[in-house]
Amino acid sequence: MARQQALHVMGNRPRPYVMAHRGNSVKCPENTLAAFRQAIEDGTDAIETDLHVLADGEFICIHDATVDRTTNGSGAVKSMTREVLQSFSASYGRPGFANERIPTLRQVLEILPQTTALALELKSDDFLEETVCVKLWLLLQEMRTDDRTVVLSFSKERLQAVRRYAPRISMGTITMFALMPGVGELTGPWWPFMLLNPFYVTIAHRRGQLVCPLDPTPEPRLWLYKLLGCDAVLTNDPALTLRALGRK
């Protein structure tokens, strides 16, 4: 079976594509429906979010392994059910967002436009398990987002497990150490590697990979990413990045 290429939904939009890091986390609390809706309104090409697994098996969109930093609650994400976790405010202490909650992946998929791609960073070793990987793939298929979703991780083992149990899913490697592209259809190197290895993008493209530097405040370096031919850029503020690219 052919693997999906998650960014194909961009069509003929100009590159680099814009990927909203945890939604628009400048205007809204990160990884909330408010942040994702704002990024979509801004015109982002793709949404990036983080993924954990709850005690009841639900996929939840939060970066940390605990809720302490981004909510008014406390405790390990993995030990909680959806009911408990979503009883906390995910306002991140920001006024006007007291009613925001940490969303499930299903809730995010429900608001994702058909022309917007999705990047899911796998944050735990739960994604080494066959049942978890298969459940994720089935959910993406059910919500008809399987052909525009890419799973990302710093962990090669997690990516290999997802590829083993859901072979059609797109995947990508994030790295802060390797000067060469990793495995998958997309590679996300820490942005200084673009300077340390100016042939990084060329090598990735020869391998059929897309490149999105790990740089959530890319505006000062957009000229470099465009010069090198990067396919996408990550950003905390998609509206600002799109304006800087002359797209809005």
**Catalytic residue numbers?**
21, 63
Cβ–Cβ under 8 Å, residues 240 and 219: yes
Residues 71 and 87: their CA atoms lie apart, in Å, by 10
Question: Residue 119 and residue 4: Cα distance in Å, rounded?
Answer: 13
Distance CA 87, CA 73 (A): 9
The closest of 186, 160, 162 to 174, measured between CA atoms, is 186
* DSSP designation for 239: H
DSSP state of 190: B
Strands 232-235 and 170-175: unpaired
- Residues with Cβ within 8 Å of residue 5, at least 6 apart in sequence: 170, 185
The answer to whether 92 and 30 are in contact (CB under 8 A) is yes
